[in-house]
Amino acid sequence: MNFRDIRERLLRLKEKQFVQDTATLQVGTVVGNFTQAIVGIFLARILQPELFGIYSLALSLAGFAALFIGIGAHEAITTVLSEAYEKKDKTEVNYALAFLIKLISVSGFIAIGGALIAPFISKLLYQNSSIGSFASISIIGLFISATLLAMTRIVLQVINKIKLMTGLIVLDQLVRSGLSLFLAVVGFGVLGAVTGHLLGAVVIFFVAMLVWQRVQSNFPLIPSLKFLLKLWPKVSIRRYLNFSIWITVDRNIANVFVILPVILTGIFVSAQEVTFFKLAFGYINLALSLLAPISILLNVEFPKQKVRDFNALAANFIRISMYSLITSTILTVGAVLISPVAFVVLYGENFSPSVQYVYGLIIYGAMMGIGVGLGPMWRAINKVRVSIIINLVTLIIGIPVGLFLIRSYGSWGTVAMVTAWFTASQVVSFIYLARFLKSKKPILLDRPRQ
């Protein structure tokens, strides 16, 4: 293959809508993550390792509580809505969105409960109830973000308004991060940092309302918020529950993989040491965030392709996974090479111990690309239960081993634990899906109607 052939292939690839949408989201992701990274750097410098460790533990506790906010309905409804919109089924679109509102309402009570008990949990785990109090504020902010903002993002994705969706995502990050930094700078410390996220979520809630009204007036299949508020009491909780409950469990287990390492590390090491691991973990994940738009778009692409041509799914899934694996390896190696300079320049000498953990996470980062299409594909072919089994087995074995490693080796034990968890789960899942899809057995989503 000569240079001309490669150039022509790249040009054809560029013309594909999926590639264009991915590029748009990647630009937004870069801007958003750059903003978050800059804010994180300033927060770390303001709070210093000890207080930044407390801030990190508070966000991790809030993230754990947020596993139950929305009850997994966002991912499930994205799949349902994509198919309904592709089929021009207005009734199904209405009921899917109304069902989402119903589950969000239920999760509101869960959010309140989580906010109330967070101080007691942090007192039990870390002998510091203030960590839980900070987490409570963050939990309420996360719940607000899981309502209208999340719904609007789903709709924009389904109707292929990727630029508008990207703009909304970036604005959300700018507002929340900006307010968080401002309140910390003026002297409110950790309290200001978490409160800024809450206030930002409120601001973006009203922005999302305006965006929804604009979309609804231009797309007849999308109902008004007023109509949905009237419809949701009439929607049976069982309508999509059988489908969404498994996606809920799968999504929550996947998030546990990300949240639990920081929570467990804080039990055995100091808040300062938590900071060093958290920054290294976040640094690698920041480099890998360029892969996130691909996964987001696959939530819509795979269900639509299943309707159009199921037999093409296997080749598409494997191709995307391999490209993503190569990309994640390149991104990780690049991030590792510049990390000694990056941490000293950005965070200062006080945070240089994080660099050693960046080196340790190189295998974790390199292998992450193979998992880009796993979640969307599990949902598209209605095999989420298999994913749950794989991840549960990984955690059942991995948590006790991880606790032993952290107790024995501190943050290095966490590095080993994280690498083993993600690599084992993703490789097994990829092999299963590749073999299943090659068997060419079309599987329809099981969603009972009223």
The pLDDT > 90 percentage for the chain reads: 38
Q: What are the C-alpha distances in Å from 63 to residues 11, 79, 361, 364, 405?
A: 41, 24, 22, 21, 23
Which residues, at least 6 apart from 184, have a Cβ–Cβ distance to it below 8 Å? 42, 43, 46, 47, 190, 192, 193, 196
pLDDT at 26: 62
The pLDDT > 70 percentage for the chain reads: 88
Helix, strand, or coil (residue 121): helix
Which residues, at least 6 apart from 280, have a Cβ–Cβ distance to it below 8 Å? 354, 355, 356, 357, 358, 360, 361
Average pLDDT over the chain reads 85
What DSSP string describes 328-347? Answer: HHHHHHHHHHHHHHHHHHHT
pLDDT digits (tens, 9 = 90+) for 47-65: 988 899 999 899 988 988 8
The torsion angles phi and psi of 97, rounded to 5 degrees, stand at -70, -35
Distance CA 94, CA 238 (A): 16
Lowest mean pLDDT among 34-38, 196-200, 215-219, 406-410: 34-38
pLDDT at 13: 45
With beta carbons less than 8 A apart as the criterion, state whether 421 and 257 touch. yes
CA nearest 429: which of 380, 355, 372, 360? 372
pTM (predicted TM-score): 0.72
Average pLDDT, integer, range 143-161: 88
Report the 10 Å Cβ neighbour count for 449. 9
**Is a pLDDT exceeding 50 seen at residue 448?**
no
pLDDT at 18: 57
pLDDT at 88: 87
pLDDT digits (tens, 9 = 90+) for 279-290: 999 899 888 887
pLDDT at 238: 74
Which sign does the torsion angle of CA 131, 134, 136, 138 carry? negative
pLDDT at 17: 60
pLDDT at 450: 44
CA nearest 162: which of 172, 174, 154, 173? 154
pLDDT at 199: 96
**Is a pLDDT exceeding 60 seen at residue 444?**
no
pLDDT at 20: 66
**Is a pLDDT exceeding 70 seen at residue 250?**
yes
Structure tokens at 253: 């287990």
Distance CA 282, CA 261 (A): 12
Q: For 222, which DSSP code?
A: S
For the chain, the distance separating the N- and C-terminal CA atoms, rounded to the nearest angstrom, is 56
pLDDT digits (tens, 9 = 90+) for 326-343: 999 999 999 999 999 999
Helix, strand, or coil (residue 224): coil
pLDDT at 354: 93
Distance CA 17, CA 36 (A): 28
pLDDT band at 71 (very low <50, low <70, confident <90, very high): low
pLDDT digits (tens, 9 = 90+) for 349-408: 888 999 999 999 999 999 999 988 898 888 888 788 898 999 999 999 999 999 999 999
With beta carbons less than 8 A apart as the criterion, state whether 259 and 64 touch. yes
pLDDT at 11: 47
What DSSP string describes 354-409? Answer: HHHHHHHTHHHHHHGGGGTTHHHHHHHTT-HHHHHHHHHHHHHHHHHHHHHHHHHH
Average pLDDT, integer, range 309-315: 76
Distance CA 219, CA 66 (A): 31
Distance CA 31, CA 69 (A): 27
pLDDT band at 8 (very low <50, low <70, confident <90, very high): low
pLDDT at 360: 96
